[in-house]
Chains A and B, each alone.
Chain A
Amino acid sequence: MNINTLEAEGYTIIGLEGDVDLSCSPDARKSILDVLQTNKNLLIDLGKVSYIDSSGIASLVEGYQTAKKQSLEFGLVGVSDAAMSVLKLARLDKVFPIHDSVEEYEKKDV
């Protein structure tokens, strides 16, 4: 799994790439919580995720809950089919704010 972090105006994007499983989900979790600790809104780009397991989903849930507690925005963007099928299996596809793209996220407040 690769993790790419990109700073944007008013938010940070963490891009996860490849398989997100128990071997690397602790790294994803740390990256997510590190950004939230800096009080920044956070988008997780799941467009290049080829597989995500329950430990990866747990990292997203923890990020979402942490952001909520801090009144920060937390959303998923460009969710791949593989990641979406697992989110649906976990019945979380209606829980997370999901955006088709970063552009769509930016337009939502306009």
Chain B
Amino acid sequence: MSVETLFEIRFQAKPERLCEIRALVKRTAEVVGCCSELTDKLVIAVNEACTNVIQHAYQGDELGEIVLEMLNNDGKLHFRLVDYANPIDLDSVKPRDLDGLRPGGLGTHFINEIMDECNMGHLEEGNGNYLEMIKKIS
């Protein structure tokens, strides 16, 4: 069993950085052999996870820092997202009921639909949160 770090990037919590993050995830997913359909879905999930951090964890504070790591763990892609914002209320992060039509709240639904596994929590060392998303690719 081998774990390969595909990339690690630190970036400020600015919406303008999302385009670059999507391009990086797309390129990397293609390199490890994901088909175009899966690649597009991984891009959507990671974009939504970053968007949630920018909007809800940092609440628009563009000085906040996000760390995104992508690993290949024996055919499973791991995406680990870390922020240093105040600990979020983990119970409030739920996919919303799609039966009621209302704007917002779709990001968590997208992530849960696309990924095989999602784990989130608070950083042990104090302020901050993590989200780990796992997708089997082989």
Interface residues of A (CB under 8 A from B): 19, 21-23, 51, 53-55, 57-59, 61-62, 64-65, 82, 85-86, 89-92, 95
Contact = CB atoms under 8 A, between A and B. Distances in A.
Given A53-B48, A54-B107, A89-B110, 18 more contacts: A19-B19, A19-B22, A22-B51, A22-B55, A23-B16, A51-B22, A51-B43, A53-B44, A53-B47, A54-B104, A57-B106, A64-B101, A65-B102, A86-B110, A90-B106, A91-B98, A92-B101, A95-B101
B115 interface: no
Interface of B: 14-16, 18-19, 22, 40, 43-44, 47-48, 51, 54-55, 98, 101-107, 109-110, 113-114
A61 B22 contact: no
B102 A61 contact: yes
A53 B98 contact: no
A22 B109 contact: no
Contacts of B102: 61, 65
Nearest to A60: B103
20 contacts: A21-B18, A22-B15, A22-B54, A22-B55, A23-B15, A23-B18, A23-B19, A51-B22, A51-B43, A53-B47, A54-B48, A54-B107, A54-B110, A55-B51, A58-B104, A64-B101, A82-B40, A86-B44, A89-B110, A92-B101
